[in-house]
Structure 1
Amino acid sequence: MGKNRAYLLAGVLVILVIAASSLLFKEEDAGEDWESGATVQSGEQIARLQNNSGNLVNMSVNNIQNGENIKNRLNQNPEIKAIYHNKRDASHYYDHEAAVDFIEEPTSDELDDITNDINGKVVKRLNSTYIFRSESLDTPALLDYFNTRPNVEFAEANFILMQNDIKMPNDVYYREKYQWNLPAIETEKGWNISRGNKRIEIAIVDTGVDLDHPDLKNRLVKGYNVLENNSHPDDDNGHGTHVAGIIASETNNKEGIAGITWFNKIMPIKAMGAEGYGSTFDIARGLFWAVDHGADVINLSLGNYQRSEVLEEAIRYAYKHNVVLVAAAGNDNSSQPTYPASYPEVLSVSALNFDGKRADFSNYGDYIDVAAPGVYIPSTYFKKQYAALSGTSMAAPHVAGLAGLILSANSELSNREVMKIIKNSAIDMGGRGPDNDFGSGLIDVNNSLKSAEDSKSRRQKFRERLRDLFQ
Structure 2
Amino acid sequence: MKRFAFAGLFLGTALLLTACPTQPPPPPPSTSCTPTPTGLSLQGLGSQQLAPQGLGDFSAPHVPGELLVLPGGLTPQGLAARVEGVRPLSALEGGFLRVGVPKGQERAKAEALLRAGARFVQPNYLYFPLYVPNDPLYPVHFADSARLEPYLDLIRMEAAWELVRAETYECTPIVAVLDTAFNPLHEDVRGVFLTGYNATDDRLGPTNLDPSPPPPGFSYLNNDPDHGQGVAGLVAALADNGKGVPGLGLGRVRVLPVKVFYWVGDSYASTSDVLAKALRAAADRGAVVLNLSLGSPAPLDGVVQDALNYALSKGSLPVAAAGNNGTDGLMYPAAYPGVLAVGSARLDGARSDFSNYSSTSKDLVLAPGGNRTPAQAFYVLALGQDYSYYESSRPYTTGAGTSFAAPMVSAVAALYVAHYHAVYGRTPTVGQVKQCLIQTASNGGSYNPQTGYGLLRADRVLSDTTYCFP
TM-score under structure 2 length normalisation: 0.73
Report the alpha carbon displacement of residue 124 of structure 1 after superposing the two structures with TM: 3.9
Kindly tell me: are residues 112 and 379 of structure 1, through their superposed partners in 2, closer, same or farther at Cα, counting changes over 3 Å?
Answer: same
CA contact (8 A) 1:197 1:263 kept: no
Residue 303 of structure 2 aligns with which residue? 310
Aligned-partner Cα distance in 2 for 1:156–1:328 = 23
SS in 1 for 2:398: strand
Report the alpha carbon displacement of residue 396 of structure 1 after superposing the two structures with TM: 0.6
Residue 28 of structure 2 aligns with which residue? none
Report the alpha carbon displacement of residue 368 of structure 1 after superposing the two structures with TM: 5.4
CA contact (8 A) 1:97 1:138 kept: no
Note the 1:414-429 alignment, pairs <5 A.
Answer: 414-428=429-443
Aligned-partner Cα distance in 2 for 1:136–1:383 = 38
Aligned-partner Cα distance in 2 for 1:221–1:92 = 32
Structure 1: gaps (5+ residues): 1-62, 458-471
Aligned-partner Cα distance in 1 for 2:435–2:443 = 15
Aligned-partner Cα distance in 2 for 1:268–1:418 = 22
Report the alpha carbon displacement of residue 126 of structure 1 after superposing the two structures with TM: 1.7
| Percent pairwise identity | 24
Aligned-partner Cα distance in 2 for 1:84–1:311 = 14
Residue 35 of structure 2 aligns with which residue? none
CA contact (8 A) 1:160 1:279 kept: yes
Residue 372 of structure 1 aligns with which residue? 367
Report the alpha carbon displacement of residue 176 of structure 1 after superposing the two structures with TM: 7.5
1:332 pairs with one of 325, 341, 348: 325
- Structure ranking higher on relative contact order (CA contacts 8 Å, 6+ apart): 2
Letter in structure 2 aligned against 1:349: V
Over aligned residues, Cα RMSD in angstroms? 3.0
Kindly tell me: are residues 118 and 302 of structure 1, through their superposed partners in 2, closer, same or farther at Cα, counting changes over 3 Å?
Answer: farther
Aligned-partner Cα distance in 2 for 1:125–1:452 = 47
Kindly tell me: are residues 137 and 441 of structure 1, through their superposed partners in 2, closer, same or farther at Cα, counting changes over 3 Å?
Answer: closer
Query: Is 1:434–2:434 an aligned residue pair?
Result: no
Report the alpha carbon displacement of residue 247 of structure 1 after superposing the two structures with TM: 0.7
Note the 1:188-267 alignment, pairs <5 A.
Answer: 188-194=158-164, 199-228=172-201, 230-235=206-211, 237-261=225-249, 262-267=251-256
Report the alpha carbon displacement of residue 345 of structure 1 after superposing the two structures with TM: 0.4
Residue 413 of structure 1 aligns with which residue? 428
Kindly tell me: are residues 84 and 134 of structure 1, through their superposed partners in 2, closer, same or farther at Cα, counting changes over 3 Å?
Answer: closer
CA contact (8 A) 1:225 1:271 kept: yes
Report the alpha carbon displacement of residue 452 of structure 1 after superposing the two structures with TM: 7.0
Query: Is 1:395–2:420 an aligned residue pair?
Result: no
SS in 2 for 1:290: helix
Aligned-partner Cα distance in 2 for 1:337–1:353 = 18
Residue 78 of structure 2 aligns with which residue? 110
Aligned-partner Cα distance in 1 for 2:242–2:454 = 32
Aligned-partner Cα distance in 1 for 2:172–2:281 = 18
Residue 3 of structure 2 aligns with which residue? none
Structure 2: gaps (5+ residues): 1-5, 18-55, 138-142, 213-224, 371-376, 386-394, 422-426
CA contact (8 A) 1:374 1:390 kept: yes
Aligned-partner Cα distance in 2 for 1:408–1:91 = 39
SS in 2 for 1:362: coil
Report the alpha carbon displacement of residue 408 of structure 1 after superposing the two structures with TM: 0.5
Query: Is 1:186–2:163 an aligned residue pair?
Result: no
SS in 2 for 1:91: coil
Residue 43 of structure 2 aligns with which residue? none
Aligned-partner Cα distance in 2 for 1:227–1:197 = 33
Note the alpha carbon deviations across 1:101-146, whole angstroms, 9 max, x for none.
2344836x436526xx442433443222222122366111121122
CA contact (8 A) 1:305 1:336 kept: no
Note the 1:37-52 alignment, pairs <5 A.
Answer: none
Aligned-partner Cα distance in 2 for 1:134–1:452 = 56
Aligned-partner Cα distance in 1 for 2:241–2:469 = 31
SS in 1 for 2:414: helix
Letter in structure 2 aligned against 1:302: L
Query: Is 1:98–2:87 an aligned residue pair?
Result: no
Note the alpha carbon deviations across 1:188-227, whole angstroms, 9 max, x for none.
1112222676631000111132222111131111221011
Residue 44 of structure 1 aligns with which residue? none
Aligned-partner Cα distance in 1 for 2:363–2:151 = 19
Note the 1:262-277 alignment, pairs <5 A.
Answer: 262-273=251-262, 276-277=268-269
Aligned-partner Cα distance in 1 for 2:163–2:116 = 57
Aligned-partner Cα distance in 2 for 1:198–1:212 = 24
Query: Is 1:70–2:11 an aligned residue pair?
Result: yes
Letter in structure 1 aligned against 2:417: L
Aligned-partner Cα distance in 2 for 1:254–1:319 = 38
Letter in structure 1 aligned against 2:131: D
CA contact (8 A) 1:291 1:318 kept: yes
2:354 pairs with one of 357, 361, 370: 361
CA contact (8 A) 1:164 1:301 kept: yes
CA contact (8 A) 2:322 2:331 kept: yes
2:271 pairs with one of 272, 279, 283: 279
2:101 pairs with one of 118, 122, 134: 134
Letter in structure 2 aligned against 1:417: Q
CA contact (8 A) 2:147 2:378 kept: no
Report the alpha carbon displacement of residue 329 of structure 1 after superposing the two structures with TM: 0.5
Kindly tell me: are residues 126 and 428 of structure 1, through their superposed partners in 2, closer, same or farther at Cα, counting changes over 3 Å?
Answer: same
SS in 2 for 1:193: helix
Letter in structure 2 aligned against 1:189: A
